[in-house]
Amino acid sequence: MSERVRVMRGREWARPVRPVRREVLAATPELEEGRPPLLFVPGFGHGAWAFAEHWLGHAAGRGFPAYALSLRGHGGSGPAPEATLRAYAHDVVQVAAGLPRQAVLVGHGAGALVVAHALARYPARAAVLVAPVLGGWATFGAALRRNPAGTLPAVFGGRLRLNRRQLFSRELPDADARGYVSRLGRAGRRAQWQLLTHADPEPAVGRPPVLVLGSPDDRIVPPAALTRAARRYGSAPLLFPGMGHDLMLDARWREPIDAILDWLAKEPAPERRP
C-alpha cells in the first residue's frame, strides 16, 4: 500500500505565512563531493551566527555544504515579534527547498522543535536534533528551577533570558561566554508560549533517520528529556559529558559536529515508498 502524504494543508491556503527577509549564512567545500547539504536551525534567541562561529566551516572542510538560517526575528532576518512555530517551520522548509540537493536538517534547542515540525512538510535526507527543547511544562519547570528570573517573564510575553551557566561549560573562557550571551536576541512571544502548549509534530515525510544528541550536564535539557526525544525516533541519545547546552559554541565544539558528520557519512538514504 502506498503512503499518502499531505503536501499542502487547507490552512496554508487560507492563511499563508507572511513572507520575511531571511538571513542564510553558508560555507561550501572547495571540491564538490556530492554530499548532502546541511541546514542548521538555531534555537530561540540565537541566530545563524551561532553555527557560523565553528560548525559551518568545519562541516565544509569535511566536504559537506553547510548553511545556517536565522529564523524570522532572529539574527539578520526580518523582524517578526508575532512569529509562531508554524512561521518558523515555514522558514526552514522554504530555505531547505531552495538548496541544490535534498538537505539534512539540524536543529538546536527550540530549533529542534521547529525542525520536527518542518519534517512533516519537507522530505529531509536526515535530521539531527541537538540538545532538543521539544517543549512542554516539564521543560519549563526545569528551566524555572535553574533560572527563575530569566524564565518566568517568558510566560507573560517577556524575553527569555539565558545565562552563562545554562549555556556553557566552565571550560569556555569567560570572555567568549560573555560575548556569545550578549548576542542573544528574543523569540516571538507567541512562539515562546507555543513552546509550552504546542501539539506534537506530525509524522515526518519519508521517515528520515534522526539522530538525537546532547549533554547529560545540560542545564536546560535534562537527560530524561534527551532519552524521551531519542525514543520518539527509535534510538538512544548520543551524549557528550561535560558540555553545556550550546554545544556548537562550547570549548569542545569539535566533538559533536564530528560525531554528526561521521553518522551522516555512514547513514543510508531514507526509503521512499511509491
pLDDT tens, residue by residue, 44-99: 889 999 999 999 999 999 999 999 999 999 999 999 888 899 999 999 999 999 99
12: pLDDT confidence band, cut at 50, 70 and 90? low
Q: Which CATH number characterizes residue 155's domain?
A: 3.40.50.1820
**Does the residue 2 lie in any domain?**
no
CB atoms closer than 10 angstroms to residue 119: 25
Per-range mean pLDDT, top range of 7-21, 70-84, 154-168: 70-84
Which pLDDT does position 52 carry in this prediction? Answer: 98
Q: Give the C-alpha separation, 186 to 72, whole Å.
A: 11
* % the chain with pLDDT above 90: 65
Non-local CB neighbours of 75 within 8 Å, separated by 6+ positions:
23, 42, 46, 47, 48, 49, 185
Range of the domain at 145: 10-266
Report if residue 114 sits inside a domain: yes
How sure is the predictor about 13, in pLDDT bands with cuts at 50, 70 and 90? low
In the prediction, which pLDDT does 220 show? 87
The pLDDT value recorded for residue 4 is 39
Is 274 part of any domain?
no
Residue 168 lies in a domain: yes
Give the type of residue at 236: A
5 in any annotated domain: no
So what's the pLDDT on residue 151? Answer: 59
Tell me, yes or no, whether 1 lies in a domain: no
Local confidence band at 206 (pLDDT 50, 70, 90 cut-offs): very high
Provide the grid cell at 62: 569535511
Instruction: Please give the pLDDT value at position 268.
Output: 63
Indicate the number of domains in the chain. 1
Note the Cα 224 to chain centre separation in Å.
Answer: 19
pLDDT band at 136 (very low <50, low <70, confident <90, very high): low
Say whether pLDDT at 186 is over 50: yes
**124 or 274: which carries more pLDDT confidence?**
124
Give the Cα separation of 170 and 244 in Å (integer). 9
196 located within any domain: yes
Mean pLDDT value across residues 224-242: 94
Question: What mean pLDDT comes out for the span 218-226?
Answer: 90
Return the CA Rg of the chain.
Answer: 17
Confidence band (pLDDT; 50, 70, 90) for 187? confident
Please report where in the chains the cell 538512544 appears, as a residue: 236
Give domain status of residue 272, yes or no.
no
Q: What is the pLDDT of residue 189?
A: 75
Contact 248, 50 (CB under 8 A): yes
Task: Write a three-state SS string for the chain.
Answer: CCCCCCCCCHHHHHCCCCCCCCEEEEECCCCCCCCCCEEEECCCCCCCHHHHCCHHHHHHHCCCCEEEEECCCCCCCCCCCCCCHHHHHHHHHHHHHCCCCCCEEEEECHHHHHHHHHCCCCCCCEEEEECCCCCCHHHHHHHHHHCHHHHHHHHCCCCCCCCHHHHCCCCCCHHHHHHHHHCCCCCCHHHHHHHHHCCCCCCCCCCCCEEEEECCCCCCCCHHHHHHHHHHCCCCCEECCCCCCCCCCCCCCHHHHHHHHHHHHHCCCCCCCC
**How far is it, in rounded angstroms, from Cα 168 to Cα 183?**
14
pLDDT tens sequence across 248-261: 999 999 999 999 99
